[in-house]
């Protein structure tokens, strides 16, 4: 039997929760002002809805297990800080959209302040957001913005192409980007080193809700396995580590974690 209720093990949790928040390509973002306008226009338009999201069953279950001492360390690829809202304090492997940073000097500050700056220099966009919130989507007043079923926002290209302005760094006038890892970007060395050390020192390593298709996540799972940690995956569908991890549970993360909370442990037949 393999038991996930080991009280004395150090659990390193890598947890992925897919969101519809727009990411991007680092090279395109840094080289193209058009790409930056497109990104920040969509981000600005969807920010209020994005920040209104609440933790789900998996977030709350993890926070409860952490509070009970069943989890000693958590690593997340999420950038939405829903784990924090649930009461956890994970290592954010891929950063967070709640911070904005300068690509030139490294200065960083809260996203809410950046949102205020965007609003101040784009007053018509602020009015457009209000028109969406008051049930008038798709009109000229709303710049043709339409909310899609997945929560993202469609914006007519003609509106952000020329009429949307982006603040620059107040320290050096450099380019600002969300403090998240874009495609082609590198995880800061200190953060990557900390995550790898935790993985290698863990007695047990549990992957939750991730396909591990990003190398940054897969490397941690592989390192934990090679270091002798008990490794397991809870995920619906195939993952990159299926061939190396001895235990795979094909189920929803929230359902499994709440069973652990209710019963105290989860025993499954060894494979």
Summarize the annotated binding site as residue ranges: 102, 105, 169, 172
pLDDT of residue 11: 44
Residue 25 pLDDT class (50, 70, 90 cuts): confident
The least confident of 11-15, 67-71, 115-119 is 11-15
Give the DSSP letter of residue 135. T
Any bridge partners for residue 230, and if so which? 204
pTM of the predicted model as reported, rounded to 2 decimal places: 0.80
Give the DSSP letter of residue 25. B
| pLDDT 10s digits, 152-166 | 567 777 767 677 899
Q: In the predicted model, what is the mean pLDDT of the chain?
A: 81
Which active-site residues does the annotation give?
94
Residue 49 pLDDT class (50, 70, 90 cuts): confident
Q: Is the pLDDT of residue 209 over 50?
A: yes
Give the residue extent of every domain in the chain.
2-122+164-268
Any residues with CB less than 8 A from the CB of 69 and at least 6 apart, and which?
Answer: 7
Residue 147 pLDDT class (50, 70, 90 cuts): low
pLDDT of residue 184: 85
CB 41, CB 163: distance < 8 Å = no
pLDDT of residue 12: 47
Summarize the annotated binding site for Zn(2+) as residue ranges: 102, 105, 169, 172
CATH number of the structural domain 2-122+164-268: 3.40.50.1220
* Average pLDDT value for residue range 21-42: 83
Give the DSSP letter of residue 246. S
The 10 Å Cβ neighbour count of residue 155 is: 23
Residue 189 pLDDT class (50, 70, 90 cuts): very high
The least confident of 76-85, 141-150, 168-177 is 141-150
Q: Is the pLDDT of residue 182 over 80?
A: yes
Residue 19 pLDDT class (50, 70, 90 cuts): very low
The least confident of 125-129, 174-178, 182-186, 262-266 is 262-266
The rounded percent of the chain whose pLDDT value lies above 90 is 51
- In angstroms, the CA 164 to CA 176 distance is 15
DSSP string, 145-177: -EE-TTS-EE--HHHHHHH------TTT---EE
pLDDT of residue 157: 74
């Amino acid at each position: 039997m393999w038991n996930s209720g080991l009280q004395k093990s150090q659990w390193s949790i890598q947890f992925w929760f897919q969101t519809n928040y727009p990411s991007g390509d680092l090279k395109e973002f840094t080289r193209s002002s058009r790409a930056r306008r497109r990104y920040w226009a969509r981000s600005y338009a969807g920010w209020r809805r994005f920040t209104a999201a609440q933790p789900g069953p998996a977030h709350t279950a993890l926070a409860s297990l952490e509070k009970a001492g069943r989890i000693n360390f958590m690593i997340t690829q999420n950038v939405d800080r829903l784990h924090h809202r649930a009461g956890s304090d994970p290592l954010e492997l891929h950063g967070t959209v709640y911070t904005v940073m300068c690509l030139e000097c490294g200065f960083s500050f809260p996203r809410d302040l950046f949102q205020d700056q965007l609003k101040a220099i784009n007053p018509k966009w602020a009015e457009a957001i209000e028109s969406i919130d008051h049930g008038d989507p798709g009109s000229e007043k709303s710049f043709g913005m339409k909310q899609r079923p997945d929560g993202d926002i469609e914006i007519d290209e003609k509106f952000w192409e020329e009429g949307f302005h982006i603040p620059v760094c107040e320290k050096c006038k450099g380019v600002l980007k969300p403090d998240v890892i874009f495609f082609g970007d590198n995880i800061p060395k200190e953060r990557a080193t900390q995550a790898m050390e935790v993985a290698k020192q863990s007695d047990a390593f549990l992957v939750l809700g991730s396909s591990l298709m990003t190398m940054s996540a897969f490397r941690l799972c592989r390192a934990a396995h090679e270091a002798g940690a008990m490794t397991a995956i809870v995920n619906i569908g195939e993952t990159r580590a299926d061939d190396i991890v001895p235990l795979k549970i094909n189920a929803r993360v929230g359902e499994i974690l709440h069973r652990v909370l209710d019963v105290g442990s989860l025993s499954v037949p060894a494979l």
